[in-house]
A and B are shown apart, each in its own frame.
Chain A
Amino acid sequence: MKYFPIVWRNLLRRKFRTIFTIGAVFFAFLLFGVLMAIKSAFGMGVEMAGQSRLMMMDKVSIVNPLPASYEVRLRQVPGVTDVTHANWFGGYYQDVHNQFAIFATEPESWLRVYSREYELPEDQKKAFIADRTGAVVGTDTAKKYGWKLGQKIPIQGTIYRRPDGGPWEFTVDGIYDSHIKGADKTQLLFNYQYLRETIPEASGFRDRYNWYVFTIDNPDNAPEVAAKIDAMFANSPNETKTNTEKAFVSDWAKQVGDIGKIMIWIVGMAMFTILLVAGNTMAQSIRERTNELAVLKTLGFPDGRILWMVLVEATLIAGVGGLAGLALSYAFITLAGDPTHGLLPAFYFPTRDVVIGVALVLTLGLASGFLPAWQASRLRIVDALRRN
């Protein structure tokens, strides 16, 4: 880069403008990171949901729990390799605003089915399985409330109530982490048996689960297996709806609906506007110098080299601003995480979108530099010199 000093002097010629152009590009790409994180947050983790895991719930409504007896029948279906179940336990810690996902489940099979998702030391896993009133919580929740291993925590139930009306007490037997990006590390899991003993038999809700999760040996067979299972429970008091976990999560995300989509759309448009302003300024700063380019040509610089120098200049502005914006938003989103503190656990900046961002930075630099440089190269030197 023997001509780098020329590029550099050109950048410094109007320092103020260069700095602010870099600033505008910087903010546009900061916004890009946030936009991508919003997108994955409203996708509710559909990227992470398993294809080989299926979920089964009541066909009419998720509020109707399915009988426990379905588990044995599920296990007999060819292709089904493991089965677990869960109940949604609405609850909060100390204050009604401190809510997070709490599931009552069968610890052993749950951790088997989700062995990839929950990273839990072996001794903690054993302690949890052996402890009827034990719980496993995600690092995010444990950190937020300062819970330590072995600590007893009171959780007030909103759906299930203890006979005395007081809070449920769980012992933190394990704190799970996850290496999967955007994984929900806010959950609390506990043993269904602890819940079961408080449900009166007469209520008709004992030994009933909100949903089953099971794994199959071949993900390609998911539609057939699901259809077979739903047929098996057809015409029973609890007809079922079975689908892949991915399909359920995707339907769940669609329930949130267009507001996510609309937000993404308008922010995208706004980012585009800022880029337009910045790109236009970059192009403008080159257009102003058409007669200088002509001087270079007169001195014998070939068109290719002039184009190259102009592109380097524009890409430098876009690169410095854009990459800094991407880096900062990546760092910020990864460190600070969910800005709503637990409502959007899948708020993260996916690696794939970082790559898209870098590509966009390059496009901005090349596009804003190419057009004016190309126009200048087409001018005859005499005309270009005459332009003021």
Chain B
Amino acid sequence: MLSQIIAVTGVNIRSIRARLGSSSVAVIGIAGVVLVFVAVLSIAEGVAATMKASGDPDVVLVMRAGADTEMTSGLAGDATRIIQDAPGIARDESGAPLTSPELFVVVDHPLKRSGSPANVPLRGVTPEAFKVHKNMKIVEGRNFEFGKNELIAGRAATRQFVDLTIGRSIKWGENTWTLVGIFEDGGSVAESELWCDVKVLQPAYRRGNSYQSVYARLASPDLFTTLKDALTSNPQIQVSAMRAPDYYGSQTETLQTIIRTIGGIIAILMGVGAVFGAVITMYTAVASRTREIATLRALGFGSIPVVISVLVEASLLAVLGGLLGGAIAYLAFNGYETATMNFQSFSQIAFRFAVTGKLLMTALFYALIMGLFGGLLPAIRAARLPVVTALREL
């Protein structure tokens, strides 16, 4: 039996070359599905990766209770001081708490890709910010000077928005800013932002002495509950506290839902469509070899080896298609950087498409399933051909 399976399968596979046309159609069909599947989901993976890079588990974000994003939060200056003194927060050598009160606004600035205006996130920070956000480093130029109308821009922001080069003056309303440096932050969301001195930003946006959030570094990761309880039970302030990874995870929920819902619908429809494509291809392959299969059967080959040989051929074509589609998706999309709107804060976030190994494996697995489904019916048909009539066929 095994030797029969090997023999028939060998004949099948060697004869693919003779049926190159119809076989390549099946391969291309499945490659197309895999390409779409991988490409669409690599957007979601990319956004998730950026968000993951943003969430330092030792950092806690404090916002006003009820706010779901920094944009809608608001904390008075006094409240930020009360937050600083809460227990569980790490302190530097001089004993000062590692907390960073920040003001997050958006500014209207044109996108490079379309020339149309978009909401660029602009964050005002205090000198402590650079101790709380540990991965933040200036890679070009210098940091802004506190008290001056100077800006630094994230690496990704410089690629998405026009005129973000060092030395450039940018006028927004009554204020003219000078861009003095470019920073990186381990691929986090911050790299889509512009940063400046909060004390300069507050009057420009008529915010008095108010902030939107406080980032605090924990003395130890397990002190989160201590800090959270102390803050939420303090009657002087109404705030909520979240670990940074949880916050950033929640920030792209809308975007992720959109991409994954649409991606899911597309993948299912395309998958079924491709199975149909594979079925017709394999069916044509079987039909064109009717006489050949009947001859094998007449020579004494069983029906199971015939079924298996067709299935093996279909899977082989499917895997080939999967590899091809995955490779194209990887070459065309992996690392492609673009920006989109974060629906929670209405501001731009830049990210890279991420064609991950996991994604490729999943896609390949689907390709295999599609091949098996596509091959099953034609295989059964081949096995059930009545030998005598089949031999008589053209």
A is bound by B: yes
Contacts of A239 in B (CB 8 A): 173
Interface residue? B304 (CB, 8 A): no
CB-contacts of B45-90 with A (<8 A): 64-69, 71-72, 74
Contact of B280 among A17, A263, A388 (CB under 8 A): A17
Residue picked from A62, A156, A266, most chain B C-beta under 10 Å:
A266
Q: Do A284 and B108 have beta carbons less than 8 Å apart?
A: no
Interface residue? B182 (CB, 8 A): no
* Residue tally, chain B, CB below 8 Å to A: 73
Contact of B108 among A59, A99, A266, A267 (CB under 8 A): A59
Interface residue? A294 (CB, 8 A): no
Interface residue? A334 (CB, 8 A): no
Contacts of B108 in A (CB 8 A): 59-62, 241
Interface residue? B276 (CB, 8 A): yes
Interface residue? A146 (CB, 8 A): no
Interface residue? B274 (CB, 8 A): yes
Q: Do B205 and A64 have beta carbons less than 8 Å apart?
A: yes
Contacts of A237 in B (CB 8 A): 174
Contacts of B272 in A (CB 8 A): 27
Q: Identify the stretch in A178-186, A218-226, A254-262, A302-310 within 8 Å (CB) of chain B at 4 or more residues.
A: A254-262
- Per-residue 0/1 for A156-187: is the Cβ within 8 Å of any B Cβ (1 yes, 0 no)? 11110100010000000000000000000000
CB-contacts of A56-81 with B (<8 A): 58-64
Distance between B354 CB and nearest chain A CB, rounded to angstroms: 13
Q: Do A278 and B277 have beta carbons less than 8 Å apart?
A: yes
Interface residue? B359 (CB, 8 A): no
| A270-B348 Cα distance, complex, nearest whole Å | 29
Q: Decide: A255 near B258, CB < 8 A? Known: A64-B206, A161-B66.
A: no
Interface residue? A23 (CB, 8 A): yes
| A21-B265 Cα distance, complex, nearest whole Å | 21
Q: Do A27 and B273 have beta carbons less than 8 Å apart?
A: yes
| A340-B262 Cα distance, complex, nearest whole Å | 8
A258's closest neighbor in chain B, by CB? B338
- Per-residue 0/1 for B231-271: is the Cβ within 8 Å of any A Cβ (1 yes, 0 no)? 00000001000000000000001100111011101100110
Contact of A274 among B74, B262, B274, B287 (CB under 8 A): B274
Contact of A158 among B28, B67, B254 (CB under 8 A): B67
Q: Decide: A158 near B68, CB < 8 A? Known: A63-B205, A274-B273.
A: yes
| A4-B114 Cα distance, complex, nearest whole Å | 54
Interface residues on A, range: 35 or more
| A14-B108 Cα distance, complex, nearest whole Å | 62
Distance between A210 CB and nearest chain B CB, rounded to angstroms: 11
Q: Identify the stretch in B31-39, B186-194, B360-368 within 8 Å (CB) of chain A at 4 or more residues.
A: B31-39
Q: Do B111 and A254 have beta carbons less than 8 Å apart?
A: yes
Interface residue? A96 (CB, 8 A): yes
Q: Do B262 and A263 have beta carbons less than 8 Å apart?
A: yes
Q: Decide: A270 near B173, CB < 8 A? Known: A28-B273, A262-B43, A277-B25.
A: no
Interface residue? B223 (CB, 8 A): no
Distance between A164 CB and nearest chain B CB, rounded to angstroms: 10
| A17-B337 Cα distance, complex, nearest whole Å | 43
Q: Decide: A27 near B258, CB < 8 A? Known: A61-B119, A276-B25.
A: no
Contact of B284 among A17, A90, A259, A269 (CB under 8 A): A17
Contact of B208 among A23, A204, A276, A284 (CB under 8 A): A204
Q: Do B254 and A343 have beta carbons less than 8 Å apart?
A: yes
Q: Identify the stretch in B125-133, B294-302, B305-313, B339-347 within 8 Å (CB) of chain A at 4 or more residues.
A: B339-347
Contact of B35 among A17, A161, A266 (CB under 8 A): A266
Q: Do A266 and B114 have beta carbons less than 8 Å apart?
A: no
Contacts of A28 in B (CB 8 A): 273
Contacts of A58 in B (CB 8 A): 173
| A213-B308 Cα distance, complex, nearest whole Å | 68
| A255-B338 Cα distance, complex, nearest whole Å | 11
Contacts of A99 in B (CB 8 A): 68
Interface residue? B281 (CB, 8 A): yes
Q: Do B269 and A255 have beta carbons less than 8 Å apart?
A: no
Q: Do B43 and A60 have beta carbons less than 8 Å apart?
A: no
Interface residue? B167 (CB, 8 A): no
| A250-B338 Cα distance, complex, nearest whole Å | 18
A-B contacts, 21 of them at CB < 8 A, read A17-B284, A20-B276, A20-B283, A21-B276, A23-B276, A27-B273, A30-B273, A34-B266, A58-B173, A60-B173, A92-B68, A96-B68, A165-B66, A255-B340, A266-B40, A270-B33, A273-B277, A276-B28, A277-B26, A278-B280, A281-B284
List B residues at the A interface (Cβ < 8 Å). 22, 25-26, 28-29, 31-33, 35-36, 39-40, 43, 64-69, 71-72, 74, 105-108, 111, 113-114, 116-119, 172-174, 205-206, 208, 238, 253-254, 257-259, 261-263, 265-266, 269-270, 272-274, 276-277, 279-281, 283-284, 287, 338-341, 343, 346, 348, 377, 381, 394
